[in-house]
Amino acid sequence: METTNHFGSGASRSMLENFPLFRTSDPDEARDRVSRVFCEHRLRVVSGGSRVGAEMYYRPIRGIGIGRMRYGASVAIDPGSLESFALIQMPIHGSEVVEHGGNTVDTNADVASVLSPSLSLRLRHGEDTEKLFIKIDRGVLERHCRQHLGGELKSPIEFCPAMSLLAPRSLPWVRLMKWLYEEVGQDSQGQGVILDSPLFAAQIEQMVITTLLLCQPHNYSDRLADDGPSIAPSFVRKVERFVEENADEPLTIGDLAEEAGVSTRSLFAGFRKYRNTTPMQYLKDVRLRRVHEDLLRATPQLTTVTTIAGRWGFSHLGHFTVDYKRCFGESPSVTLHR
């Protein structure tokens, strides 16, 4: 079944062709290149000989990545678990069998897979299968979920692994994906508004994650559906937006309280009650995420960890490295040299 039923006429084998990442017939090269975008995994060609016709098109947008890929052969893929990201896969041709957290999902043009970071995973990718995908950084996903809930997550987010693209609750996701792929696809020179504007990119990131959290069932769905008193007051959300947009500025707690229009005491109380953190820790977390994003994009021969950390206000490299490892599970130098 063609994707024009769901994602419009742009969902074809020319989609995202302005962002080619690789094309190869070598299975080992395909595994290596896919690992760089996702994670280490085992790849075995099941049928169709020892060669593949693999290709991937990919564009990161802050904490998410949008892409299209195929293997051109029937392959078995075993990553163990994704660990650091969630992955939504939407076949536009063919099918894929997904074994995930004890469940089996037969995906096709009507059924997408929603893969949680912490659950076991194995895939069987059909020879004629091609898929769109959305990759979401685990830390960014959990942060958005915490913000909506107004509290900490006591366990990892676990989604229902099957998403029916025909179900009424999935229609907002389908409409958003159709718009997003078409918008990015028009950016033929890499100069589109999504990529030019950090503010708009942040809104895209938030829209994708919020739509997923509201459309696809998961272990926090019931809490998200509760519009009770856990929703943070407007001054907390205002400061969060202000920090996101001005994290590169030398902000103080006084600056944040002035922006919120409340006392520093009220600001601390609001963040402690509804976010289980402090305003300045929230600022540090945002800056750490920005460093992480810059390190992933940087060329090691042209910059250093110290330069990028300093750009985001981290002057003590030792303390910064400890905080970075705690957030991302690796040293900043490892991230830079990926």
210 and 236 share one domain: no
State whether residue 241 is helix, strand or coil: helix
32 and 117 share one domain: yes
166 and 69 share one domain: yes
Q: Is residue 222 part of a domain?
A: no
pTM: 0.67
281 and 206 share one domain: no
The one-digit pLDDT tens for each residue of the chain (338 residues) are 344 457 655 456 668 888 999 999 999 999 999 999 999 999 999 976 778 999 999 999 989 999 999 999 999 999 999 999 999 999 998 999 999 999 999 999 999 999 999 999 999 999 989 999 999 999 999 988 887 776 778 889 999 999 999 888 899 999 999 989 888 877 655 455 455 677 778 888 989 999 999 999 999 988 887 644 456 788 998 999 999 999 989 899 989 999 999 988 899 999 888 888 899 999 998 999 899 889 988 888 999 999 999 999 898 888 899 888 887 778 899 888 87
What is the residue-wise DSSP string for 256-319? Answer: HHHHHTS-HHHHHHHHHHHHSS-HHHHHHHHHHHHHHHHHHHS-TTT--HHHHHHHTT---HHH
Quote the CA–CA distance of 311 and 291 in Å, as a whole number: 8
25 and 90 share one domain: yes
Query: Residue 24 is part of which domain span?
Result: 3-215
Q: Which of 215, 249, 282 is the last residue of a domain?
A: 215
Please say whether the beta carbons of 210 and 144 come within 8 A: yes
Position 31 scores a pLDDT of 95
Quote the CA–CA distance of 226 and 125 in Å, as a whole number: 38
Please say whether the beta carbons of 254 and 279 come within 8 A: no
- State whether the Cα torsion 269-271-275-281 is positive or negative: negative
194 and 287 share one domain: no
Residue type, 238: K
Quote the CA–CA distance of 178 and 24 in Å, as a whole number: 28
Position 185 scores a pLDDT of 75
Quote the CA–CA distance of 232 and 249 in Å, as a whole number: 25
193 and 153 share one domain: yes
State whether residue 109 is helix, strand or coil: coil
Q: Is residue 226 part of a domain?
A: no
Distances (CA, A) of 312 to 283, 293, 328: 10, 11, 17
Residue-wise over 169-188: b if at least 16 C-beta within 10 A, else e? ebeebbebbbebbeebbebe
Pairing between β-strand 85-93 and β-strand 96-100 as defined by DSSP bridges: unpaired
Q: Is residue 225 part of a domain?
A: no
208 and 252 share one domain: no
The enclosing domain of 306 has a CATH number of 1.10.10.60
115 and 160 share one domain: yes
Please say whether the beta carbons of 278 and 240 come within 8 A: no
**Helix (H) or strand (E) run with residue 77 in it:** strand 74-81
Q: Is residue 220 part of a domain?
A: no
Could you give the number of structural domains in the chain? 2
